[in-house]
A and B are shown apart, each in its own frame.
Chain A
Amino acid sequence: MSESTTPETTPVEAPSPTGPESGRNGSTAARWVLLTVVVVVAIAVTVATGIRSGSSRNRPDGTVEVPSGPAGIQGQVTTAGRFEVTAKLIELPGAFLPDDGLYNYAFVLKYEVLHVHRGGDHVGKVIHVAHYNPRKARSKVGDEFYPDLGGTVDRFRAGDVHRLAMEEPWDEHYIGPLVDRYHETTGKRLYWAIWSNSAGKER
């Protein structure tokens, strides 16, 4: 049996400002009014902050908005490869293979392109991107064979937004095992991820 991570709490009854004592004690009433104002203001601030945070990427229809600021600009993302996009990871098509330190591979992920920074009109709305050893944090993924890889993405989660520097065709930049669970998708363009920065999460 798994344990709940949410501790149980005993509900505390708040004293009612409209109780029988309120009309007889003016200072008590004032304290209640002040407390109510503080609570309302706190709730308003919390809600406003949440809405603002969400509105940076989410439209009312639930789609993800392109970050307008310099989201995800770290390292070589603006210079590596010929293509640079901000894109939402649509899904994880099954589990990654184990990272046993012995075998290395690339794994194809599917993205919805939110903004093309470099590479022009050639980049489609939906792209497939091969990531090397996807179980590893991008900051640690570069090795003897692919020293130029990097980024701030720690792990891949569906819905996350990434700023990606890429090359294409993938097999002119990577030679190794490729796990492509979209292999039946004909005519797709497959990019090779060089630099992968985190640019936010879907709400």
Chain B
Amino acid sequence: MTLEPRVPLAAPLILTILVAAVAAEDKTVETLRREVATKGWVVTSIKQKRGDWDLVLMRPDGSKQRKLTDTPDWSEAAPRWSPDSRRLLYRRIKAGTVISHDRWGFQGELVMADAMARGGRVMGKHPWGCWSPDGTQISCLSVKGIEILDAATGKVKRRMKRAGYFQQLFWSPDGKWFCGTANVGGELWTIVRMDVATGKWNVVSRFRNCTPDWFPDSKQVVFSNRPANQTGYGWTQLWMAPGQGGQRKMLYGEDGRHIYGGGLSPDGRYVLFTRCPKDGGGSERAGAPGGLMRLADAPIISGNSPALRKLHPGAHDGPVLPLPDLWEPHWTFTDVTASR
């Protein structure tokens, strides 16, 4: 008896299984693409071949891209629509400046424009400028503390101590909280939530976290985290945690990629992120491949990632919708292209 005949029989079988698996994955990604393609718009920064960054509008699936700015002498970075999606805040940074993925809020100047980035008004430095829920105020973070400005006049209406916050301060959609990255005791890179009214704060996530942002419900925070339980330098993953602290949960991880720029869809069902092969969000180079996934599919682990899969045995393989190389995307369900 010989086994030889089995080999030619097995090869097509394995090939068929592989093709079927890839096709199935393609199908789930395609389903996700169709699901989000018409759910509003995403604005993001995309690096141009000439070296600067411009603001680009696209559908959440990456289609229908169009430039909102086209300024060779300036980079436009980190755009955010106002809560009513009628205006846009972004930073204007001199072209040629290397944009820091975690200190960009200190670079350049804050600009307020309409939702399509028209009629931009340079407001001044205003580090980490971020919309209040009603769009009438802007919070800023600097060595002076947390400042709340009148969006129309730029005048400081209120000043608070910044506790340990040192970057990435964002105001919650319900207006009650700030989240940001802070020094707490001897622990740097801690995500902290602060009560806007009282200044009292609590830890959301300790140890090597950054780039936090709010879920639309203002109850949970999405952030990047590079856990200690990895060999060597490790890889940064996308996590979420309750604002009051407590059990945190990995959303997306991929050995070989550092995941940054987590941004929720307005309904909190999807999350955007970037997958950078080198640490950083890609702003220091030419951006990083974007991705979009459903929260309902979390946690997702891509690539081989054997160690990560051991830690999260129940993780899914996808689907993740690939997006172009970008940095700091922001999502609205409003049709900002319509004349309003």
Min distance, Cβ A183 to any Cβ of chain B, angstroms? 4
Q: What residues of A have a CB within 8 angstroms of the CB of B144 in the complex?
A: 172
Known A-B contacts A173-B143, A175-B143; A102 and B186 likewise in contact (beta carbons under 8 Å): no
Chain B residue nearest in CB terms to A176: B166
Q: Give Cα A105–Cα B143 distance, bound, in whole angstroms.
A: 15
Most B-side CB within 10 Å, residue of A144, A172, A175, A176: A175
A71 within 8 A of B: no
Contacts of B30 in A (CB 8 A): none
Q: Which residues of A contact B101 (CB under 8 A)?
A: 102
Residues of A128-174 at the interface with B, using a CB-CB cut-off of 8 Å, are 144-145, 171-174
Neighbouring A residues of B97 by C-beta, 8 Å: 144
Q: Name the one of A102, A145, A174, A183 contacting B284, with C-beta atoms under 8 angstroms.
A: A102
CB contacts (< 8 Å) of B106 on chain A: these are: 145, 175
With a CB–CB cut-off of 8 A, which chain B residues contact A172? Answer: 143-144
Q: Which of B107, B167, B185, B279 contacts A176, CB < 8 Å?
A: B167
> By DSSP majority rule, is chain B's interface helix, strand, loop, or mixed?
loop
Q: Is the CB of A177 within 8 A of B186?
A: no
Give the residue of B103, B143, B185, B280 whose beta carbon is less than 8 angstroms from that of A174.
B143
With A102-B279, A172-B143 given, is the CB distance from A178 to B183 under 8 Å? Answer: yes
Contacts of A65 in B (CB 8 A): none
Determine if B286 is an interface residue (Cβ-Cβ < 8 Å): no
Whether a CB of chain B sits under 8 angstroms from the CB of A179 is: yes
B186 near A105 with CB under 8 A, answer no
Report the bound CA distance from A176 to B185 in whole Å. 14
Shortest CB-to-CB span from A185 to chain B, Å, is 11
B187-213 CB contact bits vs A (8 Å, 1 = yes)? 011000000000000000000000000
Q: Which of B142, B189, B279, B280 interacts with A175 by CB under 8 Å?
A: B142
CA distance A112 to B246 in the complex (A): 41
A140 to B142, CA, bound (A): 24
Counting residue pairs across A and B whose Cβ atoms lie within 8 Å, the total is 44
Q: Using A172-B143, A183-B186 as known contacts, say yes or no to A103 and B102 having CB atoms under 8 A apart.
A: yes
Total number of A residues with any Cβ neighbor in B under 8 Å = 20
- The CA-CA distance from A175 to B146 in the complex, in Å, is 12
Task: Known contacts A176-B167, A177-B166; decide if A102 and B280 are in contact (CB<8 Å).
Answer: yes
Contacts of B186 in A (CB 8 A): 179-181, 183-184
On whether A179 and B188 interact (CB within 8 A), knowing A103-B102, A145-B106, the answer reads yes
CB nearest neighbor in A for B279: A102
A29 to chain B, nearest CB (A): 72
Chain A residues with Cβ below 8 Å from B185 are: 180, 183
Chain B residues whose CB sits within 8 angstroms of the CB of A179 once the complex forms: 186, 188
CB distance from B254 to the nearest CB of A (A): 19
Tell me if B279 and A177 are in contact (CB < 8 A). Answer: no
Q: Name the B residues within 8 Å of A105 (CB-CB).
A: 188
Output the least CB separation between A100 and chain B (Å): 8
Measured in the bound complex, the distance between the Cα atoms of B166 and A167 in whole Å is 18
> Are B188 and A178 closer than 8 Å at their CB atoms?
yes
Given A178-B188, A180-B186, A145 and B103 touching (CB < 8 A)? yes
Whether B166 lies near A175 (C-beta < 8 A) is yes
B148 CB to nearest chain A CB (Å): 17
Using CB atoms and an 8 Å cutoff, list the residues of chain B in contact with chain A. 97, 101-103, 106-107, 141-144, 162, 166-167, 183, 185-186, 188-189, 279-280, 284
17 contacts between A and B (CB under 8 A): A103-B102, A145-B103, A172-B144, A174-B143, A175-B106, A175-B141, A175-B142, A175-B162, A175-B166, A177-B166, A177-B183, A178-B188, A179-B186, A179-B188, A180-B183, A183-B185, A184-B186
User: Can you list the 5 inter-chain pairs with the closest CB atoms, starting with the nearest?
Assistant: A183-B186, A177-B188, A175-B143, A178-B183, A175-B166
For the complex with contacts A176-B103, A178-B183, 12 further pairs of A-B residues with Cβ separation under 8 Å are A102-B101, A102-B279, A103-B102, A144-B107, A171-B143, A172-B143, A175-B141, A175-B143, A175-B162, A177-B188, A183-B186, A184-B186
